[in-house]
Amino acid sequence: MTLTSIRTTAALLALLAIVGAVGGATAVPDARITIDGVGLSVTDPAVGERTSLNLTVSNSAGSPAAADVTEIRLLDADGETLDEATALGALSAGDSLDAELRTRFDDPGEKRLTVEVVVEQEAVGDAADDGDEDAAGETVTVTRDVVVDVQPAEVALDLRTRALSPEDLQSDDESEGTGVNLGGIEGIFGGGGGGLDTGDDTEEVARAADSPVEVTVVNTGTTTADRVSLTAVGTAVDGDDGAGDGSDEGDAGDGETASEGLDAGPFVVEDVAPGEERRVLVDLGPLDRREAVTFTAAFRSGTDAQAGVGAERTAESTLDYPPREAAATVTDAAVQIGEGGALTVDANLGNVGGGEMEGVVVSVADAPGVEPTPAGEAYFVGTLGASDFVGFDLRTTANASVADEVPIRVEYTERGVRYTETATVALPDADGADRDGAGTFGRFGGALGGVSDAPGGTAAGAITAVGLVGAAALAVVGGVVRRRDV
């Protein structure tokens, strides 16, 4: 074979390749359709969560032909149709239209979806002058891929509770107080009816509440919580014997609770979407004791329904009601022992809390070697406001060879609940010297606190809650207990 033959053969092959390429080319459609602005309603959708794809279909301004958008489809990686929209309308040159396609995902991971737009191109005339209309009835299909990162489903509610008092439910106007913003409350429940109170005057209904609690339901998960409902169940706080007699000799410190208590609801809150919260006011009604109230939010989710889960999910929050804001403290206490074991306690009683203490009574509690204040002879102080204090003297007898401290019992009422707290004051030594080297007086200063762990609430730092009572007038025996006002 000569060099000329080789060149001729190569030229023929190149020519055939060019002819084949021209013959196999597809004419560019006159309707120039594009898919713009594909966006997800949720950036990272979760399993079972309905997700929308919002897209815009445009016909280029330079397009010589109009087009009818006949169908838009959303396809999965296998080409299966997940959603479709039809008969969306015509697009002239420069026009666009918006569409929405929806789907759900059964499992997590990266998902590749395809948006497919089918249009019917309108005729543009006989540009080739061959007697035939160009692009008459021609179908144009345009596609665009979308990658979605699907997250595992998380079904979770956070229940937050805040104890209020009727005084908290005041107007937000500075001249009338700084109460709850009722504009943010989405429902008022109570009265045992289990439903939304539909009174015309919402603020008036709220102010009529006996025991209001603000409940906030927050959806911290990735899927909607459906049919959310609230219940409230309470049991008496340890030490509340409900006797109403001011006694701390009930069930204090024995770990038992009353067999009967609050039981309210269910109150329907409706659905809560991911990231949303609903704030409602629950009135527990009139209470005759302090109770540990457990609020339970029961709910379902669309994911549960799809998975065939039948049981309801729950979220809980517990608080003691009514709230306790008063705080008693005994300070600057001095103890002196005289002849025959005569004992004098000189101290201050203060309220370091924010609530008001009513019906305050101070006495000496029972202890080894210490004679308690006789029944009916305790000293009635009265009312002690927030950040207020009063001086007091207590007299009793003590056997210094047996006793090394004196228990000081303080009883008071706050928000209808009677509390008993006990603090201890050190005794001087039998020879008159103070046990801590402070001279002939034992000194004590500090807040009372801690749940009682001994019957009767006489342990050091004990607190006991007893039943609701009013401020009871107690007798004062001259020469036994006296009050020193400061």
| 81-91, strands of its sheet edge to edge | 81-91, 67-75, 109-121, 139-150
- Establish whether the linkage from the previous residue to 428 is cis, with ω within 30° of 0: no
**Tell me, what's the pLDDT at 257?**
40
Name residue 444's beta-bridge partners.
333
CB atoms within 10 A of CB 461: 16
**Tell me, what's the pLDDT at 375?**
76
Tokens of 15: 């020519």
Question: What DSSP designation does 339 have?
Answer: G
Contact 82, 74 (CB under 8 A): yes
Tell me which CATH code domain 28-150 carries: 2.60.40.2550
Query: From CA 282, how far away is CA 190, in angstroms rounded?
Result: 6
Which architecture, in CATH terms, is 157-321? Sandwich (2.60)
CB atoms within 10 A of CB 169: 24
Residue 73, helix vs strand vs coil:
strand
Query: From CA 390, how far away is CA 482, in angstroms rounded?
Result: 12
**Tell me, what's the pLDDT at 316?**
94
Q: How far is CA 118 from CA 52, 139, 373, 470, in A?
A: 20, 7, 95, 81
Residue burial 110-141, b: 16+ Cβ < 10 Å; e: rest: ebebebbbbbbbbebeeeeeeeeebbeebebe
In a structure prediction context, what are the per-residue pLDDT tens digits for the chain, which is 486 residues long? 444 454 444 444 443 443 333 333 344 455 688 898 788 887 888 787 788 999 999 988 877 788 889 999 999 999 999 999 988 888 888 898 999 999 988 888 899 999 999 988 876 655 545 555 554 568 889 999 999 998 887 888 999 999 987 777 765 554 454 456 676 787 888 754 444 454 556 666 666 778 889 999 999 987 888 889 999 999 887 654 433 333 343 333 333 444 467 888 888 888 898 889 999 899 888 877 888 999 999 998 866 655 555 567 899 999 999 888 899 999 888 888 888 888 888 899 999 998 899 999 999 998 888 888 887 778 788 899 999 999 988 888 888 788 888 899 999 998 888 889 998 888 876 555 554 433 333 333 444 543 333 333 333 334 444 444 433 333 333 223 344 443
Q: β-strand 417-426 against 462-466: which pairing, if any?
A: antiparallel
Which of 35, 68, 40 minimizes the C-alpha distance to 144? 35
Query: From CA 31, how far away is CA 115, in angstroms rounded?
Result: 18
HSE-CB at 461 with a 13 A cutoff on CA atoms is 7
The yes-or-no answer to whether 28-150 and 328-484 have a common fold is: yes
Query: How far is CA 155 from its chain centroid?
Result: 15
Tell me which CATH code domain 328-484 carries: 2.60.40
**Tell me, what's the pLDDT at 440?**
31
Q: What are the residue ranges spanned by the domains of the chain?
A: 28-150, 157-321, 328-484
- The H or E element spanning position 450 is none
E strands along 220-327, which residues? 225-236, 263-272, 277-283, 291-301, 313-321
Which of 454, 354, 355, 464 minimizes the C-alpha distance to 409? 464
Confirm whether pTM is higher than 0.85: no
